[in-house]
Amino acid sequence: MRRLITLCVGVMGLWTVVGEQTVAARDPSPAAGGRINVLMIVLDDLNDWVGPLQGHPQVRTPYLDALARRGLTFTNAHCQSPLCNPSRTSVLTGLRPSTTGVYALQPWFRSDGRFRDHPTLLQWFRQHGYLTVSTGKVFHSGYPPKEQQSQEADVWGPEARFAPRPKSKFVTTPDPHPLVDWGVFPERDEECFDYDLASWACTWLRDAPRDKPWFVAIGFQHPHLPCYAPRKWFDLYPEDQLILPVVKEDDRDDLPRFASFLHWKLPEPRWKWLVQQGQWRPLVRAYLASVSFVDAQIGRVLQALRDSGLEQRTLVVVWSDHGWHLGEKGITGKNSLWERATRVPLMLAGPGIPAGKQCRRPVELLDLYPTLAEYCGLKIPPQLEGISLLPWLKDPQAPRERPALTTHNPNNHAVRTERWRYIRYADGSEELYDLQADPHEWHNLAQRPDHAAVKKELARWLPEHNAPPMRGSAGRLLVIENGVPLWEGRPIRPDDPFPDR
């Protein structure tokens, strides 16, 4: 039976650096007389292409860089699912996709009676006296339904929207989906989506209450497609100097066939099509421009927090729901169990958190719920499946036995340690990568007999129970029925070739 580790360590005794002086951080728990505010910034489809993670040598993220300098960056953090709805559901409920059965873009998790009364992260803080605020894409788009918003948070800001958009797409992609596009648009920052969310958040923060603790969640959509940003952000990345991701043309040759089923038919084009159409370089450039644009919006929000005078009483946490491929393994988009789709930025800065530090231990976004609760002096709900990260906020080098686990559709899991990535698919096929020797995951070692012991050790962390898809599941759903894989309800035949468009 797999072992679970429960760690509970108080914040008292952590240290922080203010300017050039090192001072003892006060205990932020209610018993100490002061309650810590929380500012949570959520990003959409942002992989490790940020300065603190060094995922791309040319990326410019000065505001995230500055946040990392005053806090702790987890450099080996991973999402619970490489898809928006299940990832965000996992973070906000503290439960794994294999527990909830939320694997696809739909449904809203409360549509299942089992979770009608389960407290989300925001609800838990509200139940403990916090004013809760949500704006943009924190839950998945369209969730919670409007009639249920008041149950989930006290204050709701503007909804996330991909607007305005040009009259027609810039790029004619194989799938005509209106959001699968990239290019210079609009002319000014003020006209680009996400700017309005930052503006609303800035106004709220500058007038934030001082007589009651608050939890503010802001969900930006960049760099999610469409990758639009004004010209000045593209100018940061001259096209003739752009460094493209390293891609191995035969990278899929040693993969089990089932690996392709996880992203069988996607709106995002394949790498082969991008190369053929001369669109690979423009997409990479647009993605980088989108990253820098949203970094600037984060900078505006953090400046508003400073202007409020509450920065020293506020924990700032930044995370992305999952990563994004830009050609690696022959795909663009998410929907995979490889490093490019599972690794995400995760940064925390606030009272008692060491400045300018990094932690290489494998951690999960699932750990956020118990971490934020314990950090702020709240009890941790017993049903949560993550573990508090306070021990690593105190000592980033502290050992951690538990790896990170990512799930994509029923019975497909990836286990990530500091060295290894082990993937097991629903049909029993496997992949194994030594990330120290093979950071690009080019060499699948799963069939080598000398690695049998490694696979066995990693496999003990796989979930013992895999819930069936929640009723109403739809959108990028892969299941097996009577031995036949079904992608979004359509069978994949043994002789169907992997789509290359």
In the Cβ-directed half-sphere of 34, how many Cα atoms lie within 13 Å? 15
Closest to 223 measured CA to CA, from 344, 49, 46 = 46
Q: DSSP H helical segments within 309-426, as ranges?
A: 339-342, 368-375, 390-394
Tokens linked to 405:
């686990």
Tokens linked to 62:
């000065």
What are the backbone angles phi and psi of residue 151, rounded to the nearest 5°?
-80, -25
Only one residue has tokens 């709701």, namely 156
Residues with active-site annotation: 84, 140
- Distances 72 to 80, 244, 392 between C-alpha atoms, Å: 21, 29, 9
What CA–CA distance (Å, rounded) separates 12 from 25? 7
What CA–CA distance (Å, rounded) separates 376 from 34? 10
- Distances 498 to 266, 277, 464, 485, 488 between C-alpha atoms, Å: 12, 19, 31, 14, 16
CB neighbour burial string for 12-37, b if at least 16 within 10 angstroms, e if fewer: eebebeeeeeeeebbbbbeeeeebbb
Q: What is the largest CA-CA distance in the chain?
A: 67
- 323 CB contacts (<8 Å, ≥6 apart)? 45, 46, 47, 48, 79, 82, 334, 339, 340, 341, 342, 343, 344
What CA–CA distance (Å, rounded) separates 474 from 264? 15
- Distances 198 to 107, 194, 480 between C-alpha atoms, Å: 28, 6, 43
Using an 8 Å Cβ cutoff, are 156 and 255 in contact?
no
280-308 helix and 62-69 helix, angle to the nearest 10 degrees: 50
Closest to 39 measured CA to CA, from 159, 150, 133 = 133
Dihedral-angle region of residue 208 (phi above 0 means left; psi in -120 to 50 means alpha; beta otherwise) = beta
What CA–CA distance (Å, rounded) separates 109 from 209? 31
- 216 CB contacts (<8 Å, ≥6 apart)? 37, 38, 39, 40, 133, 134, 201, 204, 205, 208
Hey, CA dihedral for 78, 82, 85, 86, is it positive or negative? negative
Using only C-alpha atoms, what is the Rg of the chain?
Answer: 22
